[in-house]
Structure 1
Amino acid sequence: HPTDEELVSYYLRRRVLGRRLRIDAIAEVDLYRLEPWDLPPLSRIRSRDAQWYFFARLDRKVAGAGAGGRGGPGNRTNRATPRGYWKTTGKDREVFHRGRAVGMKKTLVFHAGRAPKGDRTNWVMHE
């Protein structure tokens, strides 16, 4: 499996710059239109363990969602799916490349149902 540093400094960087990857190993999915159990068959890397890698665009909340000093409207990420939502948990962690912070890693847990009363599941995502 790639390290966090490799994911950010190689795969994501090349993607953002519009450069091809040597191996087309990471599929792009519309993460927030899919449930977590729909994701494994979409992975381009087949593995026996429960780790999959995807590119996904963040979906921003509509105007008014940034109230309360959180950066203004449309600055928060909408992580809802048709049957639930991804909720952040724990602290964000910095990802380093050559001693320099190049990204942040968030941990999210899927909750079935509507916020804030969804039921926590065992599905975990690292973003």
Structure 2
Amino acid sequence: MSSSMSMVEARLPPGFRFHPRDHELVLDYLCHKLSGGGGRGGGGGGVDMVDVDLNKCEPWELPDAACVGGREWYFFSRHDRKYATGQRTNRATHTGYWKATGKDRVITGDGAAAVVGMRKTLVFYLGRAPRGTKTEWVMHEFRVEGRPPRSVHRQLAAPHDGPLPSLLEVYHL
């Protein structure tokens, strides 16, 4: 087994590669998490995603438990608010910050026109805005959009502690 193979890959069947489509990440993993099903995909896909506090973790310190493929990490993270009374997300870490780039992308279901989620692309910068130095770390943030499936809708009606989690895919170019 090569040193770049993660513990997650070691638990998967031979030949298995984790390359889900955007709508699969939203519907099979994020919605499953929101409905109380934990971090494993609803289809029993064999990949168990962990929760990570992105504000307390630099990209190069992401846990091995979130690594799939040596240069890709998949995990859940709750949004930290920049201001107690505001809606802006705090994306700062100790050494830098995640900066959104481009427009959010619409995610539709497989073969359906219905919007199931959104994907935001972010790049990690060392230092503080606006003078940070761009790095080769990229993150895709997936969130549920529109009316979630019924099982998730019931769960959202129940009280929860803080903002809903997003599913994050981080990779190093």
TM-score (norm 1): 0.84
The one-character-per-residue Cα deviations of 1:49-89 (angstroms, maximum 9, x if unpaired) are: x22211111111114xxxxxxxxx42111000010000000
Q: 2:117 corresponds to which residue?
A: 103
SS at match of 1:53: strand
Q: Relative contact order: is structure 1 or structure 2 higher (C-alpha 8 Å, sep ≥ 6)?
A: 2
Q: 2:83 corresponds to which residue?
A: 62
Of 7, 12, 21, 1:3 maps to: 21
Q: 1:19 corresponds to which residue?
A: 37
Instruction: Give identity over the alignment, percent.
Output: 53
> Is structure 2 residue 126 aligned with structure 1 residue 112?
yes
> Is structure 2 residue 135 aligned with structure 1 residue 121?
yes
| 1:65-104 pair list within 5 angstroms | 73-97=85-109, 98-104=112-118
Q: 1:68 corresponds to which residue?
A: none
SS at match of 1:9: helix
Alpha-carbon distance between aligned partners in 2 of 1:38 and 1:44, rounded to the nearest angstrom: 11
Q: 1:67 corresponds to which residue?
A: none
Q: What amino acid maps onto 2:107 in structure 1?
A: V
How many pairs align? 116
SS at match of 1:125: strand
In structure 1, runs of 5+ residues without a counterpart are 64-72
Question: How far did 1:42 drift?
Answer: 3.6
SS at match of 2:78: coil
| 1:37-48 pair list within 5 angstroms | 37-39=60-62, 41-43=64-66, 45=68, 47-48=69-70
Q: What amino acid maps onto 2:125 in structure 1?
A: H
Q: 2:3 corresponds to which residue?
A: none
In structure 2, runs of 5+ residues without a counterpart are 1-18, 142-173
Of 19, 28, 38, 2:51 maps to: 28
SS at match of 1:56: strand
SS at match of 1:111: strand
Alpha-carbon distance between aligned partners in 1 of 2:47 and 2:114, rounded to the nearest angstrom: 27
Conservation of the 8 A alpha-carbon contact between 1:27 and 1:44? no
